[in-house]
Amino acid sequence: MILLSDVSKIYHIGDDTVKALDHAKMYVDKGEFVSVIGPSGSGKSTLMNIVGCLDTATSGQYFLDGQEVADYSRNELARIRNRKIGFIFQDFNLLQKLSAYENVELPLIYQGLSPSKRKEQVEDALNAIGLWDRRDHRPNELSGGQKQRVAIARALATHPSLFLADEPTGNLDQKTGGMLLDIFHRLNEEGNTILLITHDPNVAKEASRSVKILDGHVSEAKDMSEIEEVV
């Protein structure tokens, strides 16, 4: 599903040149649960932005479902982000003035679905993460764990083929984080592809396979000791 071939991302900041990614190579097969682990500043977020079609590489090739992403137009990339990829962020990215229901419904409005179809998919998504009874609550009326579950429901409602989770447990306590990882395991068992980015070795080891990133260099982690060495 995901194939990065010699992908580099270079930023020019004043007179300085920063290589956020340095000839990165990575693959994720359909239905896999893969974690990407690395310390702050290692290039994790840059990698996610490229995989999520939020940014483009300076050089190299990125293939999504066998199609090189560079071949897509801006409108086609927007459609991919809305229909193929479900994003889950550390800070939830919920709109404070909207209810949980409305936050989950929003991307479906952008998809142009009918009101009845939106209601069906929102209800299914909120029931899947156990928050249908909180559908009328706004984010400030929800706990951190509930906000993250709403964020998962928002991603789930669009029926994506790929979930991208960027430090999803970063703002949660250990117990709530564990519950969240249980949801990811269930989604993966149902056939969903998950790429989870983290700096926490205990979270990384929940995936079936781990990739480590350090100073923009990406490589396969062979065992737990390699994961712990990265951070």
- Structural domains of the chain sorted by starting position, each given as residue range(s) with its CATH number in brackets: 29-59+73-211+222-230 (3.40.50.300)
In tens digits, what is the pLDDT along the chain, a chain of 231 residues?
Answer: 999 999 999 998 888 888 999 999 999 999 999 999 998 888 898 999 999 999 999 999 999 998 899 999 889 998 899 889 999 988 888 999 999 999 999 999 999 999 999 999 999 999 988 999 999 999 999 999 999 899 999 999 999 989 999 988 888 888 888 888 998 999 999 999 999 999 999 999 999 999 999 989 998 877 667 666 666
Number of alpha carbons in the 13 Å side-chain half-sphere of residue 222: 0
